[in-house]
């Protein structure tokens, strides 16, 4: 499945969600198997990526996690992601809490 870069939006109401990875940043690192990027995943943003943000897209199943800066994590409009970003699932039962 090809993941689009356009049409993403922040998923509200996720601030209190916990993950066995410790943080959503660590969840992104563990599930994507990539190193944490220096900059935010939003296109045209060069601020430091500081957190794992819950994002959604109508063309993609479920919520995803992306490295974002605090400002982009508060965007209320749709946005475009950089083409190189990994967008692993935020669904813990299918990722970090998956039973072997």
Domain range summary for the chain, segments of one domain joined by +: 1-91
pLDDT tens by residue, 35-63? 999 999 999 999 999 999 999 999 999 99
Closest CA to 55 of 86, 19, 3, 9: 9
Q: How far apart are CA 74 and CA 64, in angstroms?
A: 16
For 60-76, what is each residue's pLDDT tens digit? 999 999 999 999 999 99
Average pLDDT of the chain is: 94
Residue 66 dihedral angles phi and psi, to the nearest 5°: -135, 150
pTM of the model: 0.94
What integer pLDDT is reported at residue 69 of this predicted model?
98
pLDDT at position 1: 54
């Amino acid at each position: 499945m090809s993941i689009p870069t356009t049409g993403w939006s922040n998923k509200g109401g996720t601030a209190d969600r916990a993950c066995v990875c410790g943080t959503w940043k660590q969840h992104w690192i563990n599930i994507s198997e990539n190193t944490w990027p220096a900059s935010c995943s939003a296109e045209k943003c060069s601020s430091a990526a500081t957190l794992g943000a819950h994002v959604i897209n109508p063309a993609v199943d479920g919520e995803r996690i992306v490295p974002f800066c605090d400002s982009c994590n508060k965007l209320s409009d749709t946005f475009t992601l950089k083409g190189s970003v990994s967008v692993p699932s935020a669904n813990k039962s299918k990722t970090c809490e998956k039973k072997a």
